[in-house]
Amino acid sequence: MAHLDAYNRPISYLRISVTDRCNLRCIYCMPPEGVPWRPHEEILRYEEIETIVRAAAEIGISKIRLTGGEPLVRPGIVELVRMLARIPGIDDLAMTTNGILLADYADELAAAGLRRVNVSLDTLRPERFHAITRLGRLEDVLAGMEAARRAGLTPVKINTVVMRGMNDDEVVELARKTMEEGWNLRFIELMPVGNGVLAEGGWRERVVTAREIRGRVEAALGKLEPAKKAAGSGPARCYRLPGARGTLGFITPVSEHFCYHCNRLRLTADGQLRPCLLSDLEVDLRTPLRNGAGVADIKHLLLHGIAVKPLEHHLDRLQKPEKRVMSEIGG
């Protein structure tokens, strides 16, 4: 049974950033030169992550998602998946990845116990993909998505951050993929959590709201009908276009936040528990672990994190987190 926070929300989901490192430099996340990495000794060891997840399972957290940075750049990630998949009470183990290395790992991840992947993909145009990510190749991501599908890491979810003047002219083309190829696509409003050029003061001018995106899609492709949420849809509101096999979702942290239904905690790569993505409130788990804390001790700290989880974020008041960038938090 999941524990309730102070606002009667059952907390059943833990997102774990396994590394702050990444093989891309996306414009809404990092500057071209990247950001300073945390020293290796500050990053949680796999055994420490396992202890935290065992404690989480004992207080009713049943869903784990591995994130980064880019989780597939951390050596031994398949073994961590294997460790976590064996923990009693964890019945949903997923990963968010940029997809660059996914074709190399999909079969091993599935064999180790991973259930699903979410893949970040902001454009269907190779030159634009390279411009947005600064380092990546679109064909690697598409190959990774296909490898994940063949390996059974399904449904493969595609996450697209929509940015005015950069990729918003592709929303109809992307939405059409749910009809033609059965994609499960989610459009995400741009958030100011990063250290890239789009995370500066002018980020709001780049936001394209879900309402505007939906209007463009429906004008071109037909009326959206509510769709049953697939596994791992999280805060997305899911719809289906006429005749589509896939689904189209909208995640609206800016225009219509979903805080009142939030069921998640986040663990940073260096062992800080964040009850809210968009708040700098943190609970230190790494120091107690390295001082000998066991599962019972970590359970108490997790319960404290649940107890202090805020009701909502305050992007509407132009308040955003300052202590962390997205590559450290894990999204």
Domain boundaries along the sequence of the chain = 3-329
Question: How much of the chain, in percent, has pLDDT values that exceed 90?
Answer: 77
CATH number of the domain at 3-329, out of 1.20.120.530, 3.20.20.70, 1.25.40.10, 3.40.50.1360?
3.20.20.70
> Could you tell me the sign of the dihedral formed by the alpha carbons of 51, 54, 55, 61, in that order?
positive
Query: What is the per-residue pLDDT for 111?
Result: 98
- What gap in Å lies between CA 253 and CA 264, rounded to an integer? 14
Listed in order, strand segments (DSSP E) in the chain are 3-4, 10-11, 13-17, 63-67, 92-97, 116-120, 157-162, 184-189, 225-226, 237-240, 248-251, 264-267, 272-274, 283-284
**Residue-wise pLDDT tens digits, 253-301:** 888 877 888 999 999 999 999 998 878 899 999 999 999 999 999 999 9
Question: How much of the chain, in percent, has pLDDT values that exceed 70?
Answer: 89
Does 50 score more than 60 pLDDT? Answer: yes
Query: What is the per-residue pLDDT for 223?
Result: 98
**Residue-wise pLDDT tens digits, 173-191:** 999 999 999 999 999 998 8
* Mean pLDDT value of segment 129-133: 95
pTM above 0.75, yes or no: yes
Query: What is the per-residue pLDDT for 98?
Result: 97
Question: What value does the mean pLDDT of the chain take?
Answer: 91
